[in-house]
């Protein structure tokens, strides 16, 4: 039986399948802008005939819509993976490098070997697989859109949990983003253990940076 037509959202996916790739993986991350919490990436491999109504950029979907789509995505997916880079790693290597590492970890966590990556943004993932970067990819590729939804849902659930562990900051409501109430809480309480101490709005209240022990090597490339 021939595969069903690809939806318009899947044009980059369809081009990859037409080029002969079969394990096409979408990769995206969320959480680059917050003052607190990790950056989280997801990787999703969808089959060529996948059709998930309502799939789109996670930032443009309501929480209810994302929650409805998660089981649909997981039901269709051949594999999914999550990768995380915590706040201390973000401070150590910078947010771009931490985001790329989180995406690479998500690909490694798939449980299968993809043969092509569709990556949201302009920077390729540190990975041996052939890949294509797409600016605004979560609005162009269904695999990237699926990854953006899984990453967003995973990170939001994690931030709700961190909100209980570090009360007073409202992490469970603003998800660590730099809202006026969050900035005021950092000024009042100082940074928590999950705040990004190199970010403006946190570093002013973080005190002197921790010094490495004598002769300690710096972080690797």
- The answer to whether residue 140 sits within a structural domain is yes
- The answer to whether residue 42 sits within a structural domain is yes
- Per the structure, the complete domain to which residue 33 belongs is given by 8-156
CATH number for the domain spanning 33: value is 3.30.420.10
pLDDT over 60 at 219, yes or no: no
Out of 10-19, 84-93, 166-175, 204-213, pick the least confident. Answer: 204-213
Task: Give how many domains the chain has, as a whole number.
Answer: 1
Rounded mean pLDDT, 70-83: 97
- The answer to whether residue 139 sits within a structural domain is yes
The model's pLDDT over 6-43, given as tens digits with 9 standing for 90+, comes to 333 458 999 999 999 999 999 999 999 999 999 999 99
- The answer to whether residue 40 sits within a structural domain is yes
- Give the predicted TM-score (pTM) of the model: 0.87
At 49, the pLDDT band (50, 70, 90 cuts) reads confident
- The answer to whether residue 39 sits within a structural domain is yes
- The answer to whether residue 125 sits within a structural domain is yes
- The answer to whether residue 123 sits within a structural domain is yes
Rounded mean pLDDT, 117-143: 95
DSSP state at residue 2? P
The model's pLDDT over 134-187, given as tens digits with 9 standing for 90+, comes to 999 999 999 999 999 999 999 999 999 999 999 999 999 999 999 999 999 999
180: CB partners within 8 A, 6+ apart:
none
> Where on the phi/psi map is residue 121: left (φ > 0), alpha (ψ -120 to 50), or beta?
left
Which pLDDT belongs to residue 4? 38
Strand residues in the chain grouped as ranges (E)? 24-30, 39-45, 79-85, 116-120, 131-134
Which pLDDT belongs to residue 7? 39
What does pLDDT average to over the chain? 89
Closest residue by Cα to residue 81 from 112, 39, 117: 112
């Amino acid at each position: 039986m021939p595969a069903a037509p690809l939806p318009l959202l899947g044009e980059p996916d369809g081009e990859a399948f037409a080029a002969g790739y079969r394990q096409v993986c979408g990769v995206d991350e969320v959480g680059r802008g917050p003052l607190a919490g990790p950056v989280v990436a997801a990787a999703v491999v969808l089959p060529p005939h996948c059709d998930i109504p309502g799939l789109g950029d996670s930032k443009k979907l309501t929480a209810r819509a994302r929650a409805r789509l998660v089981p649909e995505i997981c039901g269709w997916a051949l594999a999914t993976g999550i990768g995380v880079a915590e706040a201390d790693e973000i401070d150590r290597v910078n947010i771009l490098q931490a985001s790329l590492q989180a995406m690479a970890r998500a690909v490694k966590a798939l449980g299968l070997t993809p043969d092509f990556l569709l990556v949201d943004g302009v920077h390729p993932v540190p990975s041996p697989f052939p890949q294509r970067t797409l600016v605004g990819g979560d609005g162009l590729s269904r695999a990237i859109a699926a990854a953006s939804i899984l990453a967003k849902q995973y990170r939001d659930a994690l931030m709700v949990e961190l909100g209980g562990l570090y009360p007073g900051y409202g992490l469970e409501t603003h998800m660590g983003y730099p809202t006026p109430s969050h900035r005021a809480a950092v000024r009042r309480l100082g940074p928590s253990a999950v705040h990004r101490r190199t970010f403006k709005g946190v570093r002013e209240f973080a005190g002197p940076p921790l010094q490495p022990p004598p002769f300690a090597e710096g972080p690797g490339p």
